[in-house]
Amino acid sequence: MTATLYVCTTCKVGEVHEDDSQRPGARLHRALTSAPAPDGVQIVGVACLSACKTGAAVALSQPGKWTYVYGQMTEDNAPDILEGAALYAASEDGIVPWRERPVIFRKQSVARVPALTLPLEAAP
């Protein structure tokens, strides 16, 4: 099973560019995909994560695990994001021990959502 790192490619972060490929979200996506993805991680660009107030945003998701959204990411954060994504992929439930998380993941959480586990789906 593969963890997915979603990257919002349209995040503007208040910048104005005639060329959409120069948006901070698009630049972050390029920085994250400039080298092979970590084991167990696929990187997927998304047109909008609706986190415009806290862009540039990324999200980590995998069946059976908590989903996490992080904001105010920049190209310079790409190595930390990839490290955090690898730890997420290697975790059992998506919850990486606090001290092991990259500092940007500790400080720039936008939201997390529980896994859609069978017991919850089966609830009335």
Task: Determine the distance from the C-alpha atom of residue 87 to the mean position of all C-alpha atoms in its chain, rounded to a whole number.
Answer: 12
Whole-number minimum distance, CB 109 to a copy of itself, in Å?
4
DSSP state of 101: S
Whole-number minimum distance, CB 20 to a copy of itself, in Å?
20
With binding defined as CB under 8 A, does residue 68 bind a copy of itself? yes
Strand order in the sheet with 41-46: 41-46, 3-8, 58-61, 67-70, 109-113
Q: How close are the terminal C-alpha atoms of the chain, in Å? A: 28
When binding is defined by CB under 8 A, the residue of 11, 69, 82, 86 that contacts a copy of itself is 69
When binding is defined by CB under 8 A, the residue of 67, 78, 82, 88 that contacts a copy of itself is 67
Residue 26 vs 41, nearer CB to a copy of itself = 41
Residue 72 vs 77, nearer CB to a copy of itself = 72
With binding defined as CB under 8 A, does residue 62 bind a copy of itself? yes
Alpha carbons 96 and 14: distance in angstroms, whole number: 31
**44: which strand partners?**
6
C-alpha separations of 37 from 56, 83, 98 in Å: 19, 10, 23
Task: Enumerate binding residues for a copy of itself (CB under 8 A).
Answer: 1-2, 4, 6, 42, 44, 46, 48-52, 54, 57, 59, 61-63, 67-69, 71, 109-114, 116, 120-121, 123-124
